Amino acid sequence: MTDTAQPAAVALDDATVAFRVAGDRVYTAVERASLSVAHGEFVAIVGPTGCGKSTLLNVAAGLLKPAAGSVKIFDQPLTGLNRDAGYLFQADALFPWKTAIDNVAIGLDIKGAPRELALQRAQGWLTSVGLGAFANRYPHMLSGGQRKRVGLAQVLIRDPKILLMDEPFGPLDAQTRQIMGNLLLDLWNADRKAVLFVTHDLEEAIALADRVVIMSAGPSARIIGDWQVTLPRPRDISEVRMEKQFHELHREIWRVLKDEVMKGYAQSTQAEAV
Amino acid sequence: MTRLTLLFWQSMVAVVALALWQFLTTVPVFGKILLPPFFFSNPVDVASQIIKWFTTGVIWKHLMITLLESVLAFVIGSVGGVLVGFWFARQPRVAAVFDPYVKMINALPRVVLAPIFALWLGLGIWSKVALGVTLVFFIVFFNVYQGVKEVSRTVLDNGRMLGMSERQLTRHVYWPSALSWMFSSLHTSVGFAVVGAVVGEYLGSAAGLGYLIQQAEGVFDVGAVFAGMFVLSAFVILIDFGVTLVERRLLVWRPTAEGRG
Ligand SMILES: Nc1ncnc2c1ncn2[C@@H]1O[C@H](COP(=O)(O)OP(=O)(O)O)[C@@H](O)[C@H]1O
Ligand SMILES: [Mg+2]
């Protein structure tokens, strides 16, 4: 499935990210994280809240410069924004003043594509994510899950080589998550992009990914584990959960993750008490 | 309350107020009229004055003048406010340099400028337009400035990741956000355009609703003063209704615009 002859789509090497907080204090969010995503590989990052998952994605997107370490995209050092990446943000990122179809078409519009073509392709993508009938709705007239789908179409219409996704199904209910997960797998099966998928849900990570990477609780979060998921593809999110291998892997990873989640929780409650 | 009962009670307020007004200004209580008609006129006189204005047609000229001044003040003030607000927000250094002066001018009660504008621009419509512009400009300016500054970080990053250049960000992100803030202050800025026009007319002019009221006061014709005030209120309510219609079209994408009205 993964092609070792080709350079890694994303390669973080000892990346350290620090934020300046309150004047001259520095908060090291991520320390010496190394991670690589092969061409066509689906990698999920799991970690407790606030550990630095979004931060890591921002680094891969080129929105954030690491204080130390290197970022390479297809073997080229990343300077500025990552032009090969499509980024589905954790927070709402649709343009609220554009209709669903205009939100999707914008990626082609700004490349100077003819309007007719852009709209036609956008309608096609909306249909692919199951929103063909919602083209003229504004984002506020869509449910959270529908907005995420529009966001997915908005990113995919540009056909990026790398897909960065930050807890895309986070706020959705369990059923919608499964539907969205299967939708994502179907789309990904059609043309295997390199995917870096952030989630706090370990089950979701195992069900979707080729590899699951675990981060420790912050500050100075590190990557503390890396598991191959060899469950056969194509997968169905709800069926794959029944398999024996799924449970064994889940138990194994959870043993490592549990401690970090507890640490992360303790820290977050402390921070609130200060 | 249903729509009909609400309408009933709303009309009742007017009926009672008018009846009380008519009663107290015409019928003696304990041998004494409580509200002397000279100071308070009465509803019947006021109504007949309004009817006379409309049947003879004299009012139209004044309404048109006030409307023209308001529209000009609104358009010029808005365009200026949008351009300068946008410029300042995108060029923080320019904004920093001008900041104290903007605050200074905005702190000034605009009425004191009326005589100066009359001196510079004469007693025609332009001195009133200028007064309205000074009011409208700042409202639009502050809103547009805010609108550009408060663009969501994520939406901006999304635009960048989708491949927008700075110019495309301006067109697809900053600009719509700024305009939406301007539109959301539409009621206030249109209201101030009318205030500027009427106050300007009141302080010195030869036509307009403000002039009409000022003239009536000059000859102690309280009935005409009240009549002028009622016409002015109706005028503002009509304009405000128009603004609501425009706003509903322009802000369809906003969750708040939908539930309103
Ligand atoms: N711009 C910032 N300034 C200061 N601290 C930040 C900033 N962004 C994130 N952080 C901190 O870095 C840590 C990691 O954040 P984030 O990557 O958003 O976590 P998550 O794993 O939940 O996505 C958190 O403790 C957060 O408070
Ligand atoms: Mg996050």
Rounded Cα–Cα distance for residues B118 and B132 (Å): 13
The count of other CB atoms within 10 Å of the CB of residue B198 is 28
Is a pLDDT exceeding 70 seen at residue A3? no
Q: Which atom of ligand 1 is the closest one to the Cα of A57?
A: 17
Q: Is the residue at A262 inside a domain?
A: yes
Rounded Cα–Cα distance for residues A78 and A71 (Å): 6
Rounded Cα–Cα distance for residues A125 and A116 (Å): 14
Q: Is the residue at A18 inside a domain?
A: no
Lowest mean pLDDT among A118-122, A196-200, B1-5: B1-5
Q: Are residues B123 and B32 in the same domain?
A: no
Share of residues in chain A with pLDDT > 70 (%): 96
CA A77 to chain centre: 21
Q: How far is the CA of A221 from the centre of ligand 2 (A)?
A: 13
Quick check: A106 contacting B, CB < 8 Å?
yes
pLDDT of residue B256: 65
What is the DSSP-derived secondary structure letter of residue A192? -
Q: Which residues pair with A35 in a beta bridge?
A: A12
Q: Is the residue at A75 inside a domain?
A: no
Q: Are residues B124 and B72 in the same domain?
A: yes
**φ/ψ of residue A220, rounded to 5:** 55, 50
Spatial strand order in the sheet of A211-215: A85-88, A162-166, A194-199, A42-46, A211-215, A223-228
Which of B154, B164, B176 is nearest residue A97 as measured by Cβ atoms?
B176
A55, A90, A223: which to mutate for ligand 1, most atoms within 8 A of CB? A55
pLDDT of residue B260: 40
Rounded Cα–Cα distance for residues A143 and B205 (Å): 56
Which of B157, B160, B172 is nearest residue A106 as measured by Cβ atoms?
B172
pLDDT of residue A14: 92
Rounded Cα–Cα distance for residues B74 and B55 (Å): 30
Q: Are residues B21 and B96 in the same domain?
A: no
pLDDT tens figures, B210-244: 999 999 999 999 999 999 999 999 999 999 899 88
Is a pLDDT exceeding 70 seen at residue A271? no
Rounded Cα–Cα distance for residues A217 and A223 (Å): 10
Rounded Cα–Cα distance for residues B168 and B177 (Å): 13
Contacts of range B228-233, beta carbons closer than 8 Å, 24 or more positions apart: B230/B46, B230/B50, B231/B50, B231/B53, B231/B59, B231/B63, B232/B198
Exposure string of A36-57, with b = 16+ CB inside 10 Å and e = fewer, is bbbbbbbbbbbbbebbbbbbbb
Rounded Cα–Cα distance for residues B261 and B257 (Å): 9
**To the nearest whole number, what is the mean pLDDT of chain B?**
91
pLDDT of residue B38: 87
CB contact under 8 A, A63 and B160: yes
What is the DSSP-derived secondary structure letter of residue B134? H
Q: Are residues B95 and B144 in the same domain?
A: yes
pLDDT tens figures, B119-145: 999 989 999 999 999 999 999 999 999
**φ/ψ of residue B60, rounded to 5:** -55, -45
Give B156's contacts in chain A (Cβ within 8 Å). none
Interface of B with A (CB under 8 A): 152, 154-155, 157-165, 168, 172-173, 176-177, 180, 252-255, 258
Can you tell me the mean pLDDT for A150-162? Answer: 95
By the 8 A CB rule, do B127 and B213 touch?
Answer: no
Q: Are residues B104 and B193 in the same domain?
A: yes
pLDDT of residue A4: 55
Quick check: A231 contacting B, CB < 8 Å?
no
Residue nearest to atom 25 of ligand 1 (CA): A50
pLDDT tens figures, A201-234: 999 999 999 999 999 987 889 999 999 999 998 8
Does any ligand 1 atom lie closer than 6 A to the CB of residue A5?
no
Q: Which atom of ligand 1 is the closest one to the Cα of A90?
A: 23
CB contact under 8 A, A97 and B161: no
Between helix B222-250 and helix B43-56 the angle, nearest 10°, is 70
CB contact under 8 A, B158 and A111: no
Q: Are residues B87 and B166 in the same domain?
A: yes
- Mutation target to probe the B interface, by most B beta carbons within 10 A, among A54, A73, A89, A110 is A110
* Among candidate residues B179, B198, B174, B1, the one with its CA nearest the CA of residue B89: B174
Supply the Cα-derived Rg of chain B in whole angstroms: 23
* Among candidate residues B6, B54, B56, the one with its CA nearest the CA of residue B235: B54
Is a pLDDT exceeding 90 seen at residue A251? yes
Q: Are residues B17 and B126 in the same domain?
A: no
Q: Are residues B241 and B137 in the same domain?
A: yes
- Mutation target to probe the B interface, by most B beta carbons within 10 A, among A95, A98, A104 is A95
Rounded Cα–Cα distance for residues A173 and B204 (Å): 66
Rounded Cα–Cα distance for residues A47 and A223 (Å): 9
Residue nearest to atom 18 of ligand 1 (CA): A54
Is a pLDDT exceeding 60 seen at residue A95? yes
Q: Are residues B111 and B184 in the same domain?
A: yes
Helix (H, G, I), strand (E, B) or coil at A170: coil
CB contact under 8 A, A63 and B158: no
* Band of pLDDT at residue A11, cut at 50, 70 and 90: very high
Give the ipTM of the model, two decimals please: 0.91
Domain that holds residue B71: 42-259
Give A63's contacts in chain B (Cβ within 8 Å). 157, 160-161
pLDDT of residue B259: 45
The type of residue at A169 is F
Is a pLDDT exceeding 90 seen at residue B196? yes
What is the DSSP-derived secondary structure letter of residue B31? T
**φ/ψ of residue A88, rounded to 5:** -100, 110
Q: Are residues B102 and B139 in the same domain?
A: yes
pLDDT tens figures, B172-192: 999 999 888 888 888 899 999
pLDDT tens figures, B39-71: 889 899 999 999 999 999 999 999 999 999 999
Q: Is the residue at A72 inside a domain?
A: no
Write out the two tokens for B61.
Answer: 């000229």
Give B250's contacts in chain A (Cβ within 8 Å). none
Residue nearest to atom 7 of ligand 1 (CA): A19
- Mutation target to probe the B interface, by most B beta carbons within 10 A, among A87, A97, A125 is A97
CATH label of the domain that carries residue A142: 3.40.50.300
Share of residues in chain A with pLDDT > 90 (%): 76
Does any ligand 1 atom lie closer than 6 A to the CB of residue A54?
yes
Domain that holds residue A202: 41-63+83-273
Q: Are residues B99 and B203 in the same domain?
A: yes
Is the bond preceding A219 in cis, omega lying within 30 degrees of 0? yes
* Among candidate residues A34, A14, A37, the one with its CA nearest the CA of residue A209: A37
CB contact under 8 A, B254 and A140: yes
Domain count, chain B: 2
pLDDT of residue B261: 36
pLDDT tens figures, A41-85: 999 999 988 899 999 999 999 999 999 999 999 999 999 999 999
Q: How far is the CA of B7 from the centre of ligand 1 (A)?
A: 55
Does any ligand 1 atom lie closer than 6 A to the CB of residue A21?
yes
Write out the two tokens for B250.
Answer: 């322009």
Q: Is the residue at A17 inside a domain?
A: no
Cite the beta strand spans of A185-273 per DSSP E: 194-199, 211-215, 223-228
Helix (H, G, I), strand (E, B) or coil at B253: coil
pLDDT of residue A274: 45
Q: Which atom of ligand 1 is the closest one to the Cα of A167?
A: 23
Residue nearest to atom 4 of ligand 1 (CA): A19
Is the pLDDT higher at A265 or at B4? B4
Task: Using alpha carbons, list the distances in angstroms from residue A68 to A18, A20, A71, A274, B198.
Answer: 9, 15, 10, 30, 65
Domain count, chain A: 1
- The residue of chain B nearest to residue A156, with distances taken between CA atoms, is B162
* Band of pLDDT at residue B258, cut at 50, 70 and 90: very low
Q: Are residues B87 and B210 in the same domain?
A: yes
Quick check: A93 contacting B, CB < 8 Å?
yes
Share of residues in chain B with pLDDT > 70 (%): 98
